[in-house]
Amino acid sequence: MNCRRVISVLLFSGMTFTSFGIFVSGAISSYDYSGSTKAEDWSIRMTDAVLFRLPHYLTYDSTMDWNYEEGVLLHAIWKVWQKTSDRKYFDYVKKSIDYYITKDGKIKTYDLKKFRLDDIASGRVVLELYKATKEHRYREAAMLLRRQLEEQPRTKEGGFWHKKIYPDQMWLDGLYMAEPFYAKFAEMFNEPLDYEDIARQFILMAEHARDSNTGLFYHGWDASKSEKWADPQTGDSPTFWGRAMGWYMMGLVDVLDYFPRNNPERGKLVEIFKRLSSSLLKYQDKRTKLWYQVVDKKGEKGNYLESSASSMFAYAFAKGANEGYLPKKYLDAAEAAFAGLIRYYVVVDSEGNPTLINTCAGVGLGGKPYNDGSYTYYVSVPRRNNDFKGIGPFILAALEIERALKR
């Protein structure tokens, strides 16, 4: 039921929201909130807000670097184009990608030799554009990204390093960044031998990063067990960060779109997905139906319900149920989570544009200054509003829930 009400939103300590990724001081503010919690009212609404605020290109600022954050949101906008056939969404995605890709297929600001899996994430949209337009430059750009995967440094067991600067480290994030592109490329260019390699990446993290007590996955795994944040026995980082598992879940459920039904590795991936879904369901907050920044530490000082991880889990659960990997209770959980996001973490400005609040801005492991992967580190990272890493999964969750409702 549509409703109109004014709600007071208690934002995170010392911050309220403005537009894309900007922080200002404050504590409590009232916002005019209107609309329903039904998904079909929000996939287009949130996408249109992106186009309203950033009408020319999808970027946070003027630096315009090729990056994964744009990739996840452009993928979501592409899905809205597929749903609506409204040309403005197609044109927006194309214009944003075209800023980077030259006529001969080179990618501005991209450096293959840095071997960052993050840089692969936008490649899935590049493949979609090539499929739709047959423009040669998109094919060349996709081939360049595929070459990175061919040359990417690996652990002894064949796992992709997350970046060249992090030897022997696999992060859950990287499974979303690289594998959906890798799988779609294999499908489009008929490279069936790649599926075993794709599956290997997910299986390695399921074997090495999974905690046997909770069933949750640690953010990172160091195969060498030499990094300061790594457990000397397991090589795992110490914390169950929500969005890291969200990346893994989204990457896994998306890769299955391209995996052949008769591939022997497919069943293994479905079982990993089902098992992690079961573990995550146990940690869904009973009141709000959302998930915490550090998933297993409800009630501990500084922890908070985080919007990007909650959107990712809602998407993965809804899509998993739609595809038959998960039973209906996961679709119910996804719908409840989405309603919780609307109720607690979506605010609407005077022009009717929604803002998604309380998204963790970004984290890493190691680096300079050094991030030790501790609980204290994850809950101290700044939070951002209208963060692409939150909006993209939010739109995808809305689309999957709408798909279920239409059925």
Cβ atoms of residues 272 and 202 within 8 Å: yes
What would the two tokens of residue 185 be? 């490329």
Q: Count how many residues are written for the chain.
A: 407
* Residue corresponding to tokens 């030790």: 372
Beta-bridged to residue 23, according to DSSP, are: 17
Residue type, 120: I
Separation CA 99–CA 106 (nearest Å): 11
Count CB atoms within 10 A of the CB of residue 239: 27
Separation CA 401–CA 89 (nearest Å): 20
What would the two tokens of residue 257 be? 């779109």
Cα angle 368-373-378, degrees, rounded to a multiple of 5: 100
Give a three-class secondary structure readout of 225-273: CCCCCCCCCCCECCCCEHHHHHHHHHHHHHHCCCCCCCCCCHHHHHHHH
SS3 314: helix
Alpha helices in 34-86 (DSSP H): 43-53, 68-84
SS3 77: helix
Separation CA 78–CA 125 (nearest Å): 8
Q: Which of these is catalytic: 118, 119, 168, 173?
A: 173
Cβ atoms of residues 93 and 77 within 8 Å: yes
Question: Residue 188: enclosing H or E segment and its boundaries?
Answer: helix 173-188
61 included as an active-site residue: no
Cβ atoms of residues 347 and 9 within 8 Å: yes
Question: Residue 4: enclosing H or E segment and its boundaries?
Answer: strand 4-10
Separation CA 401–CA 161 (nearest Å): 34
Cβ atoms of residues 394 and 307 within 8 Å: yes
Q: Mind telling me the catalytic residues? A: 173
